[in-house]
Amino acid sequence: MQDLAEKCEALKSVLPLLPIHLDLISRVASALGNVWESEPSVLDEPPPPRLLTPDMFCQCRCSVCPYRDECKEESWVLLERTMRRAYRLDDIVDAMVNIAARGPASRRCMAAVYWEYVDPWERWNPDTREAWALEGLQYMAESIRGPLFPFQGRQDRLAERRSRDEEIVRLRAEGLSHRKIAKAVGCSKLAVGAVLSGKRVKDGALVER
């Protein structure tokens, strides 16, 4: 079972993903705007968050989108959908917003979390920012139910995928069914079929690599 310290470390690794996530689902102003603007700063005004500029009407449903072939943001949208599920980004955003709504002290902690881990800004309350951010991380870890997974870079994901695929092949050689293999390695039966057939999964179907 994941303890509080492990959860906080997972949060630290995932928080830098929030700008892309918030930008793609057009929630910056309504979700975290009050967090990064409300607290007094050592400067007159905080710098604007560095974010991308997606289509604000995108529903992140690429497989059925009539503009899919013309969409320049499709790869970003697909990546965001994967990160959103894997790292529980919606739950993290909701936690920050709900904690910030508790009062001035909590808003200060969430602002510190933002400027320490999401979009580092060393001139924002340099003497107390780190301590406030650590306090904010603990609030978040306590308020988000269930485990949080640390961010994995591309090489980590590829190594994990190779290990999973090798395990699928081994279990199939032992005579296990697709259903039992999927349950053992934690993936779908379709993914098992893809590995064993040398194909890949796209839009819920097996296609050639």
Tell me the average pLDDT across 97-104: 92
Of residues 175 and 202, more confidence is placed in 175
Through-space distance between the first and last CA atoms of the chain, rounded to whole angstroms:
38
pLDDT on residue 199 = 80
DSSP 103-165: -HHHHHHHHHHIIIIIS--TTSSTTTHHHHHHHHHHHHHHHS-S-------HHHHHHHHHHHH
pTM equals 0.55
pLDDT on residue 38 = 43
Taking alpha carbons only, the member of 90, 140, 91 closest to residue 114 is 140
What pLDDT digit, counting tens, does each position of 133-162 carry? 999 999 999 999 999 988 876 555 567 778
The answer on pLDDT for 177 being more than 60 is yes
191: confidence class by pLDDT, cuts 50, 70, 90: confident
